[in-house]
Amino acid sequence: MTKKIALSLLFALFCSHFSFAAEEAAQPGKNDNVSFNQLLKQLTEEYTAGLQMPEPARPADAEAAGVQDNRYWITVQASDRYVRTRLLEAGVDIVEVHKNKISGIAPKDVLAGLSQKGYTIEKKIPLSQYIKNLKDFPAADAAYHNYKETTDLLKTLVSKNSDIASLFSLGKTIENREIWCLRINSTAKGRKASGKPGAVYIGNHHAREHLSNEVPLLLAVYLLDYRNDADIKKYIAALDIYIVPMLNPDGVEFDIKTGKYQWQRKNMRVNSDKSVGVDLNRNYDSWFGGQGTSHYPSADTYCGTAAFSEPESLAIKNFVLARKNLKTMNSYHSYGGLVMYPWGGKDAPVENEKDRQVFIKAAGEMAKLTDYTPEQSNEMYIATGDTCDWAYDAAKIFAFTTELEGRGFYPGAAIIEKAVTSNIKAAVYMLSLTDNPYKILK
């Protein structure tokens, strides 16, 4: 986000604060909230106004920023999900799945290994060159919230709704940033235990998936802005709601710090070979280090040295295990347009038939609301160590992974409104199930 936009957003939040305050004096009791519609409209207007936005990384800029990116954008023949799983294990980050091939990202030495292993590489191009060639790259991304803006908005929301909202940190990242969690609960604040059924929404495991911060962040704005609507009021009274919009702020800030995207997926751990980053969505203890994960530190799907070796995934583990009341979870990623459910890490369906039916039906409903495709996570490939497999396996939480829409990691700000609007419907639907997910079977 440029300073100009950040200032205008802050200014707008400020204005909304004062106008609410003025109205409040005239109309006592009027809800004093950040306006969801106002914020959404503003994001759209910023897009159409065509203000100055960051552009994609170019080789010279990457060098100037001290980044040595040896990754390639590749297209490899892959006939089924077993071949795709082995490609992940070899160190390829699969970004797009096509009928008989995949496209994705691989470091130079992984690429050399693929040829030796007999894979047919149809196309390879240095990632920096590939990014440069994206002519339709949207120039609108300043509307997205960076870490500071996300933090400020969460704090504003809590200050305006201090009777039911609180903010606390799940812990610190590798680079010492707080991992913020906004909680909505009418009777308990901060870390205080609650017996109410709990729902949790998590965004930005992966740094470059910036849309996956916007959806849960604006969900928080929405729930608090519409807190007096009948349904929302009922859920807020009955449930314990947690929103962690940006789990990997270090990666997010690295991705955008020069104003030129770095295509960063992982966190900012410096590995033993001096490469940077562990894939947080391979670092959970669900058959850690098994199928579909890479043990090669430079790979974008590197699982790390041990399950929960990373402070960000460890923060989620500690958060979940300390709250036995959690019933549902949605972890947002981009892109693909999918609502997925366990297992992702093994070649089998969820064994408990009742649970499996809950997963299928709930994912089906959320897919209708978002116009996405519902499927078991292992349909594209098998990948161990992911959040939702672990949350269901370790804590029996009905955990979903939503791959948001878009054609690329940087789909522009115009997509925010649609993605947020439809995914809020799905998120509210998940709240409707949280008191007893099994009621969907009746």
- Per CB under 5 A, residues contacting Zn ion are 206, 209, 333
Q: Given 46, 253, 403, 405, which residue is catalytic? A: 403
Residue number with CB closer to Zn ion (206 or 327): 206
Give the CA angle between residues 167, 391, 236 to the nearest 5°. 40
Shortest-Cβ-distance residue relative to Zn ion: 333
Give the integer Cα–Cα distance in Å for 153 and 340.
29
Per-residue burial over 36-45, b = 16 or more CB atoms within 10 Å of its CB, e = otherwise = bebbbebbbe
Q: How far is the CB of 252 from Zn ion (least distance, A)?
A: 12
Annotated catalytic, 403?
Answer: yes
- Residue among 310, 217, 312, 315 nearest 1 (CA): 217
- Residue among 234, 250, 299 nearest 70 (CA): 299
Residue number with CB closer to Zn ion (358 or 382): 382
Q: How far is the CB of 333 from Zn ion (least distance, A)?
A: 3
Extract the tokens encoding 339. Answer: 């609502």
Residue number with CB closer to Zn ion (196 or 282): 282
What is each CA distance from 32 to 8, 25, 240, in whole angstroms? Answer: 20, 11, 22
Helix (H, G, I), strand (E, B) or coil at 29: coil
Residue number with CB closer to Zn ion (377 or 434): 377
**What stretches of 307-408 show up as alpha helix (H) in DSSP?**
311-321, 353-370, 387-395
Helix (H, G, I), strand (E, B) or coil at 105: strand
Q: How far is the CB of 332 from Zn ion (least distance, A)?
A: 8
Q: How far is the CB of 165 from Zn ion (least distance, A)?
A: 27
Extract the tokens encoding 286. Answer: 């669900």
- Residue among 363, 361, 360, 365 nearest 350 (CA): 360
Q: How far is the CB of 129 from Zn ion (least distance, A)?
A: 23
Give the integer Cα–Cα distance in Å for 380 and 292.
11
Q: How far is the CB of 402 from Zn ion (least distance, A)?
A: 10
Q: How far is the CB of 158 from Zn ion (least distance, A)?
A: 27
Give the integer Cα–Cα distance in Å for 185 and 179.
19
Residue number with CB closer to Zn ion (232 or 388): 388
Amino acid at position 201, single letter: Y
On the 0-12 / 13-18 / 19+ scale of CB atoms within 10 A, 274 is: exposed
Residue number with CB closer to Zn ion (269 or 333): 333
DSSP 258: T
Give the integer Cα–Cα distance in Å for 307 and 140.
37
Extract the tokens encoding 373. Answer: 């495709």
Give the integer Cα–Cα distance in Å for 389 and 344.
7
Residue number with CB closer to Zn ion (198 or 203): 203
Concatenated DSSP letters for 113-137? HHHHTT--EEEEEEHHHHHHT-TT-
Residue number with CB closer to Zn ion (209 or 255): 209
What pairing do the DSSP bridges indicate for beta strands 101-107 and 93-97?
Answer: antiparallel
Length of the chain: 442
Catalytic residues: 403
